[in-house]
Amino acid sequence: MGDLKSPALIYLKGVLFVVLGIASAGILLWKVGDWQIALLLMLSVWAFCRAYYFAFYVIQHYVDPSYKFAGLGSFVAYLWTRSGANSDRPSAN
């Protein structure tokens, strides 16, 4: 399957993600019916969004401009190779 190139389809995909997120959160909250759960759900969604932003945008633009991501797997591989490269260096102490 090729890359998605149509701007209209890309926007549709984004809208569908939002609809899916709202629907699944709504069903979860309807089944549980607790505002503490709602707050924790919002907090965890926000935290995972920030972690995703960090894994790609922050690392690529502020830490290592040579890093190009292809998904969470490539980020884990990037961290793994960076930690291996850092373990060969002598300590600063």
**In sequence order, which residues have a C-beta less than 8 Å from that of residue 25 and are 6 or more positions away?**
41, 45
In the block, residue with structure tokens 């907090």? 43
∠ CA 73-79-80 to the nearest 5 degrees? 90
In the block, residue with structure tokens 């260096």? 89
Average pLDDT of the chain to the nearest whole number: 83
What average pLDDT does this structure show over 61-80?
A: 83
pTM of the model: 0.60
